[in-house]
């Protein structure tokens, strides 16, 4: 029942906001997201205490063996936590802007949260797919109504591109589902794992491709990333945060949940190709990020580079790789929300994201620049920040898997430092420019968002074991399934 609450509570409040359009939309949505956070925290702490997963099962379409089956274990627990943790921050970033009391805007964010939660909680593969695709609708409307220049064309491209990819996932799922035993088939993930293991290497290979393309487009992995920079740049800040902070993790989560345990033989054939593509993305994204003039676009490419490393790590199928991927999903979500917020703060005050026009902000707002530096260091993976733990585990797993790839992937740390430090330098330090000379200091509401995020970056770097222990049992179990 707790899981049901976590799943549907944001939707209920979201629908109230969308339909009734109350005047104080911000209070509604912020309170709802906090209640959701408390509820999710309660469930997760219970799970950590009893060291056992929680589940919920109900009939959905019994005629074809599709059930409404939810599961929160060590793996999905991390993602649920991430989703519940980030949404209050995302909503808080709208405080005192014109979007704060826009009921439609807040309602779409909350409906989006339900779709994301659903994808992370689902144990039935078609339920997963259902939420996986349904999550496209709120973000599509968010981006097309409130986005920047050329928003309709860009969000439409994003919608069609990702939908097209997920259709491959759908047929792949149907293919395996039809081979499950029994007169009425089953789409429970456990059953699908068993069934998929019985398929020939050739079939597993095709299925691996179908599944991986769907998730690779979502993450995105090179060369399926062409929708991403435009969409991230054009979306409204909160949309970008949802996309990069949480929605992208649906892709990586999908790989951990569905691809790794289902197709070990497919992995054997195509795994290294997928891994090489991921690492190409890491290097390619970093190099392009170095060239960017627009700060938001720079972050978009950095996010693309980070997710490549996450993908490469989990494709090693090792416990460290998957643990590192999970941890990095969490830290990347926190860091990227903070970074996009900083860019948004700068843009609100200066109406510009052009690095060439910025500079000298540190003189106007000390807190902002400190927070920006902390968040950036988290993103660069400096020790004592949350990024270090994840990236270290990921690089180690890639290195153990294949040394050459590990060395190439290791360049990311240098390249990441180059583009991130360049971002800090161009925006925060240097001479005060024409548009930054009247830069206002942060308001209390803005500090209340940034400082906790920075605290999370450092806490994540010092106490990683809270999270790693939480997911370990489930990851070990998964890794056994892979072998």
Token duo for residue 310 = 């996450």
**287 forms part of the interface with other proteins (CB under 8 A):** no
Pure H helices in 21-68? 25-50
Token duo for residue 151 = 């928003």
User: What is the nearest approach in angstroms of other proteins to the Cβ of residue 16?
Assistant: 16
Token duo for residue 111 = 């409906």
* Residue showing tokens 């109406």: 351
Token duo for residue 184 = 């009425």
Which of 151/296 has CB closer to other proteins?
151
**177 forms part of the interface with other proteins (CB under 8 A):** yes
Q: The dihedral of CA 18, 22, 24, 29: what is its sign?
A: negative
Binding-site member from 46, 52, 152, 404 for other proteins (CB under 8 A): 152
| CB distance 104 to 112 below 8 Å | no
Which of 23/178 has CB closer to other proteins?
178
**62 forms part of the interface with other proteins (CB under 8 A):** yes
Residue 70 pairs in a beta bridge with 56, 122
| Nearby residues of 412 by Cβ (< 8 Å), 6 or more positions away | 282, 283, 286, 305, 309, 391
Binding-site member from 38, 55, 148, 156 for other proteins (CB under 8 A): 156
What is the separation, in whole angstroms, between the first and last Cα of the chain? 34
User: What is the nearest approach in angstroms of other proteins to the Cβ of residue 187?
Assistant: 10
Binding-site member from 20, 51, 160, 384 for other proteins (CB under 8 A): 160
The CA distance from 129 to 133, in Å, is 6
Which of 164/463 has CB closer to other proteins?
164
**Residues 122-141: x where in contact with other proteins by CB under 8 A, - otherwise, as a string:** ----x--xxx-xx-xx---x
Which of 129/212 has CB closer to other proteins?
129
Per CB under 8 A, the segment of 170-178, 327-335, 371-379, 393-401 that binds other proteins is 170-178
**120 forms part of the interface with other proteins (CB under 8 A):** no
Per CB under 8 A, the segment of 3-11, 148-156, 404-412, 453-461 that binds other proteins is 148-156
User: What is the nearest approach in angstroms of other proteins to the Cβ of residue 463?
Assistant: 39
**63 forms part of the interface with other proteins (CB under 8 A):** yes
Which of 64/407 has CB closer to other proteins?
64
Tell me, rounded to whole angstroms, the distance of Cα 236 from its chain centroid.
17
Which of 129/388 has CB closer to other proteins?
129
User: What is the nearest approach in angstroms of other proteins to the Cβ of residue 216?
Assistant: 16
| CB distance 202 to 210 below 8 Å | no
User: What is the nearest approach in angstroms of other proteins to the Cβ of residue 14?
Assistant: 13
CA angle 162, 327, 117 (to 5 degrees): 50
Token duo for residue 313 = 């790590």
Kindly write down the DSSP assignment for every residue of 143-180, as one continuous string. Answer: HHHH--TTHHHHHHHHHHHHHHHHHHHHHHHHHHHTTS
Which of 175/429 has CB closer to other proteins?
175
**171 forms part of the interface with other proteins (CB under 8 A):** yes
**27 forms part of the interface with other proteins (CB under 8 A):** no
Q: How far is CA 414 from CA 107, 290, 408, in A?
A: 41, 11, 11
- For residues 64-93, which are near other proteins according to CB under 8 A? 64
C-alpha atoms less than 13 angstroms from C-alpha of 58 in its C-beta half-sphere: 7
Q: Which residues bind other proteins (CB under 8 A)?
A: 59-64, 126, 129-131, 133-134, 136-137, 141, 144-145, 151-152, 156, 159-160, 163-164, 167-168, 170-171, 174-175, 177-178
């Amino acid at each position: 029942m707790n899981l049901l609450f976590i799943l549907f509570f944001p939707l209920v409040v979201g629908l109230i906001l969308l339909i009734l359009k109350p005047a104080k939309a911000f209070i509604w949505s912020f309170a709802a997201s906090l209640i959701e956070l408390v509820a999710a925290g309660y469930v997760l702490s219970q799970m950590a205490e009893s060291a056992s997963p929680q589940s919920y099962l109900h009939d959905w379409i019994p005629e074809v063996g599709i059930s409404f089956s939810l599961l929160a274990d060590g793996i999905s627990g991390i993602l649920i936590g991430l989703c519940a943790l980030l949404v209050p921050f995302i909503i808080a970033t709208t405080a005192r802007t014109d979007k704060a009391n826009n009921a439609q805007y807040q309602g779409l964010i909350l409906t989006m949260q339900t779709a994301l939660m659903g994808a992370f909680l689902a144990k039935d593969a078609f339920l997963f797919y259902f939420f996986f695709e349904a999550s496209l609708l709120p973000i599509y409307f968010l981006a097309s109504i409130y986005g920047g220049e050329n928003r309709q064309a860009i969000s439409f491209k994003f919608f069609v591109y990702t939908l097209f990819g997920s259709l491959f996932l759908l047929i792949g799922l149907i293919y395996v589902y039809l081979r499950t035993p029994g007169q009425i088939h089953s789409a429970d993930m456990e059953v699908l794992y068993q069934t998929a293991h019985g398929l020939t290497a050739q079939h597993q290979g095709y299925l691996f491709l179908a599944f991986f393309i769907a998730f690779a487009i979502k993450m995105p992995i090179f060369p399926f990333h062409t929708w991403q920079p435009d969409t991230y740049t054009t979306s409204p800040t909160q949309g970008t945060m949802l996309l990069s902070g949480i929605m992208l993790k649906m892709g990586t989560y999908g790989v951990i949940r569905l691809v790794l345990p289902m197709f070990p033989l497919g992995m054997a054939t195509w795994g290294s190709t997928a891994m090489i593509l991921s690492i190409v993305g890491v290097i390619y994204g970093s190099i392009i990020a170095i060239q960017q003039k627009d700060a938001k676009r720079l972050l978009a490419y950095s996010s693309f580079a980070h997710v490549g490393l996450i993908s490469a790590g989990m494709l090693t199928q090792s416990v460290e790789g998957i643990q590192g991927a999970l941890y990095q999903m969490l830290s990347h979500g926190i860091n990227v929300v903070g970074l996009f917020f900083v860019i948004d703060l700068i843009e609100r005050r200066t109406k510009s994201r052009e690095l060439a026009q910025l500079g000298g902000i540190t003189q106007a707002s000390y807190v902002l620049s400190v927070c920006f530096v902390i968040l950036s260091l988290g993103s660069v993976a400096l020790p004592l920040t949350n990024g270090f733990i994840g990236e270290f585990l990921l690089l180690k797993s890639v290195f153990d898997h294949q040394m050459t790839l590990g060395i190439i992937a290791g360049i990311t740390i240098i390249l990441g430092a180059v583009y991130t430090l360049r971002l800090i330098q161009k925006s925060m330090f240097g001479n005060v420019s024409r548009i930054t000379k009247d830069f206002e200091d942060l308001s209390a509401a803005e500090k209340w968002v940034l400082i906790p995020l920075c605290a999370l970056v450092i806490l994540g770097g010092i106490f990683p074991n809270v999270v790693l222990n939480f997911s370990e049992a489930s990851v070990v179990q998964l890794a056994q399934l892979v072998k």
